[in-house]
Chain A
Amino acid sequence: MGWTSRDARSFGIGLAYLAPSLVLFAAFVFIPLAQSIYLSFFNTRSTGAITTFAGLDHYLELLTSPAFRSGLVATTLFAAYTVPIGIALGLVLAVLLNQRLRAINVFRTMMSSTIAISAAVGALIWLLLLNPSLGLLNYILSLVGVRGPEWLIQPTTAIIAVSLTTIWLTLGTNIIVLLAGLQGVPEEIYEAARLDGARGVRMFTRITVPMVSPSLFFLLVVDTIAVLQAFTQIHLLTRGGPVDATRVLVYSIYQDAFQNFQFGYASAQAVILLVLVMALTLVQFRFVERRVHYQ
């Protein structure tokens, strides 16, 4: 497989177009990443300066650490609560919004409004909603006869509270993407299905879901990555507690790097997180994408 001069020429032209992006990625993503991987094999002073070679020590310590294991559990729970529910809810609302009605854009804008809200702003609002003495959420629940839990105090509800906030934050994006997906489905397909007698739920499961499966798959991949990297809402709502219930991997990296100043150890966790994200994405492409129906 030798390179002809034509190959080299077209490669050069291609690279020229890619160069601006590649230079930026190299400078701000790949080289820093390489440094972090390098750092994960060393011990550091609290100022970050490298002291001694640690080899695989940090990784071995992580494998045996109960805190790290509970962090993986929290991460898994968080993703399992957030991603499927967020996408399902987004799909139902997008279908509802995908109608030719007067003033439909008002509803579309309201429901997709969270796309414009930052995690910091969203978390501050939810902090108010969930507040034990002033919070409206439990008051509303009490109106329908439900005694609301102490959301951020109990481990089981704290992870739910953080997930609720995250579902809300991603709902806007999910709705927009799925609405776009729905609008790309040709009307004839629905017509044909209707002639075959498909209605309601059957129409939804047999026609709508398969037709927007590319969008659903896209969201599955993107939302999973986003959830695995979510930080701000956890920082503002629970700081990883109670008893580590919401100390997801990203948060323990933050604590070890920016509060405990153990950069080597934190870097090792970042590397594990990266491997995890890549593996999950590959699995999704390998096993889920098969069921996606591309036009």
Chain B
Amino acid sequence: MSIRTVLTYALLAVASIVVAFPLLLALSYSFMSESEIATFPPPLLTTRPTLDNYAGVLDTIPIGRYLLNSFVVSTAVVFGQLITASLAAYAFSFLAFRGRQLLFFVFLSTLMIPWEATIIPNYITIRTIGWLDTYQGLAVPFMATAFGTFLLRQAFLQIPRELWDAARIDGASSLRFFVSTVIPLSRPILGTVAIYGFLSTYNQYFWPLLITNQTLMRTTQVGIAQLRFEETLRFGLVMAGVIMVAVPTLALLVLGQRQLVRGLTAGAVKG
């Protein structure tokens, strides 16, 4: 190895540790007893690792059920988004019709609307149709995505027009071309949209807090906040909860990191 390579690795290692430091710290603290955390100077690693905090989390909140709920909801949102966004992106990239630009802007404008401006009417809607405390209530409002549509449209625009022309000469319908050509060619970007949709749904806090009244319908982020309401803030317990909730998404990232980059590289964020 050249000196240059060694230096590069050293730089990478230092930068990685600094960026991941808060997470590593959370991991370390989750194995510490409360009295060890309270000592000064603050310890980096525990001398007496304990699983008490994890046991405490399992005792305090039904974390297994919360994880299940988050998975069901996030997966449902991902499938919903893939369907709605790919259909819309297809219209925005392959179909020519009047008002297309305007409608595309309408889509993008949804990105700019702060959630506070819509959350109370949305609550009333969900409650009127009887969706409080249901998976539908948690998932359906998020099944359309302007961001995902935008990414997919950019990717679809990279698909050679010749394929489209050839398909039309063969008499294929637009729906057929969409299903048999566009979708298979766009797997990487669909994966990116799926990962992104999963992460953002899984990490939601306020909406699930608002529309779930039963303990059994709560999601992970709400559960974590519940740990904070202990009469004295117990950092060890909270950090154990943090780790339990973050592990699934971190695992998804480990598996999907290359996918994310590749999906976005395909010209997705270019003009």
Contact = CB atoms under 8 A, between A and B. Distances in A.
Q: Do A and B bind each other?
A: yes
Interface in B75-101: 83-85, 87-88, 90-91, 95-100
Interface residues of B, number: 96
B37 interface: yes
A99 interface: yes
A20 B119 CA distance: 21
B199 A116 contact: yes
B87 A295 contact: no
Contacts of B46: none
A253 B17 CA distance: 37
Contact of B249 (A33, A116, A236, A274): A116
Nearest to A249: B114
Nearest to B126: A28
Contacts of B117: 32-33, 36, 267, 270-271, 273-274
Contacts, number: 271
B111 interface: yes
Interface in A92-148: 93, 96-97, 99, 101, 104-122, 124-126, 128-129, 131, 133-136, 139
Give the interface size bracket for A toward B: 35 or more
Interface in A30-68: 30-33, 35-36, 48
Contacts of A214: 269-271
Most B Cβ at <10 Å: residue of A3, A118, A181, A222: A118
B149 interface: yes
A101 to B, nearest CB: 7
A134 B38 contact: yes
B232 interface: no
Looking at chain A's contact residues, the main secondary structure is helix
Contact of A21 (B23, B99, B149, B221): B149
Interface string B256-271: 0110111111111111
A136 B25 contact: yes
B253 interface: yes
Contact of A176 (B12, B25, B224, B260): B260
A118 B202 CA distance: 8
B254 A109 contact: yes
B169 interface: no
B22 A122 contact: yes
A196 interface: no
B114 A228 contact: yes
Nearest to A279: B112
28 contacts: A3-B98, A21-B85, A21-B88, A24-B143, A25-B107, A25-B146, A30-B110, A31-B121, A97-B12, A105-B257, A109-B253, A110-B16, A110-B17, A116-B249, A117-B249, A118-B204, A118-B245, A119-B203, A121-B203, A125-B22, A128-B26, A184-B266, A214-B271, A266-B116, A270-B114, A273-B114, A277-B112, A294-B270
3 A-B pairs with the lowest CB-CB distances in the bound complex, closest first: A118-B203, A180-B264, A32-B121
Interface of B: 5, 8-9, 11-13, 15-17, 19-20, 22-23, 25-26, 29, 37-38, 40-42, 44, 83-85, 87-88, 90-91, 95-100, 103, 106-107, 109-122, 125, 140-141, 143-144, 146-147, 149, 174, 199, 202-206, 221, 224-225, 228, 235, 238-239, 242, 245-246, 249-250, 252-254, 257-258, 260-271
Interface of A: 3, 7, 10-11, 13-15, 17-18, 20-22, 24-25, 27-33, 35-36, 48, 93, 96-97, 99, 101, 104-122, 124-126, 128-129, 131, 133-136, 139, 168, 171, 176-177, 179-181, 183-184, 214-215, 218, 222, 225, 228-229, 231-232, 236, 250, 253-254, 257, 263, 266-267, 270-271, 273-274, 277-278, 281, 292, 294-295
